[in-house]
Structure 1
Amino acid sequence: MADGLHVDYANIRNAKRLKGDKLCLVTDATAPAGANIEQFIFAGKTIYYRNGLCVDENGTLSGSSLTMIEGVRNLVEHCGIALDEVLRMATLYPARAIGVEKRLGTLAAGKVANLTAFTPDFKITKTIVNGNEVVTQ
């Protein structure tokens, strides 16, 4: 979780050095991801979004608000990982980890066409899911 809250950026850099192409970028984004809300119900509990953290009434970490594009930006800007490698960490490496790299993870004829286009400052401009454009900005 490349948000600097679940895992410190220094630990992510160490993990990358140790794990190489086995390290995947993931997020368990909950309701606040990309939204402007202060609380929500998750698994029957009220979860509060405070200072970038999702916590329950006891302050226990209870999910993330990290979007994938934020994770990409964080790995580039805070961990110093090259953008092309970060994109593999978000696409190819997870596909390999679950054994679906023949269908997902790279752009090639016959593969599922899921992709997101973004600007150099990480603003999403287009999202395509299963070959269909679903978001354009």
Structure 2
Amino acid sequence: MSTGGIIVDGMHVDFANVRLAKRLKGDKLCLVTDATAPAGANIEQFIFAGKTIYYRNGLCVDENGTLSGSSLTMIEGVRNLVEHCGIALDEVLRMATLYPSRAIGVDKQLGSIAPGMVANLTAFTRDYKITKTIVNGNEVVTE
């Protein structure tokens, strides 16, 4: 079975269909995002591929209302899978880390916490507030 990615913002794919996809694909379903400029930012419009894209009601749309990406961050995707799709947090974290690493053949270096693996980690609270990010073993300081 091939691996697939799913954007869990409730707009690209309804949460009921996300649950169905998870049942069907199991560990072959990866959490992904096609985040554009509004992800984690406070902007109302931006230029993408030469077109003005508007951020309205959680959607990124062009002047005709055509979906043009999302503002979904990975931590929001994690929250949505747990809270709206009923998937256990440990499985959701594998969907965001291990399964994508397997899909592209880098699971010997990335996607798990183990000796010898690249240390890319994100710590967050029970309410999904990111408290620390580590990239290649180094803490990233953000303001």
Cα-to-partner distance string for 1:3-34 (whole Å, 9 max, x where unaligned): 00000000000000000000000001110001
Structure-1 residue corresponding to 2:67 = 61
* Structure 1 moving runs of 4+ over 4 Å: none
| Cα offset, 1:135, TM superposition | 3.3
For 2:47 and 2:141, the matched residues in 1 are separated by: 27
- Helix, strand or coil for the counterpart of 2:72? coil
User: Pairwise mapping of residues 47-126 of structure 1 onto structure 2 (< 5 A)?
Assistant: 47-126=53-132
User: Pairwise mapping of residues 24-63 of structure 1 onto structure 2 (< 5 A)?
Assistant: 24-63=30-69
Structure-1 residue corresponding to 2:4 = none
2:15 to 2, 9, 12: 9
For 2:22 and 2:142, the matched residues in 1 are separated by: 33
For 2:141 and 2:25, the matched residues in 1 are separated by: 34
| Cα offset, 1:136, TM superposition | 5.9
For 2:36 and 2:85, the matched residues in 1 are separated by: 24
Cα-to-partner distance string for 1:56-93 (whole Å, 9 max, x where unaligned): 11111001100000000000000000000000000000
Q: Identify unmatched segments of 5+ residues in structure 1.
A: none
The percentage of counterpart residues that share the same residue type is 88
The one-letter code sitting in structure 1 at the alignment partner of 2:32 is V
- The 8 Å contact of residues 125 and 136 in structure 1, kept in 2 or not, is answered as no
TM-score, length basis structure 2: 0.93
Q: Identify unmatched segments of 5+ residues in structure 2.
A: 1-6
- The 8 Å contact of residues 28 and 63 in structure 1, kept in 2 or not, is answered as yes
- Helix, strand or coil for the counterpart of 2:21? helix
TM-score, length basis structure 1: 0.97
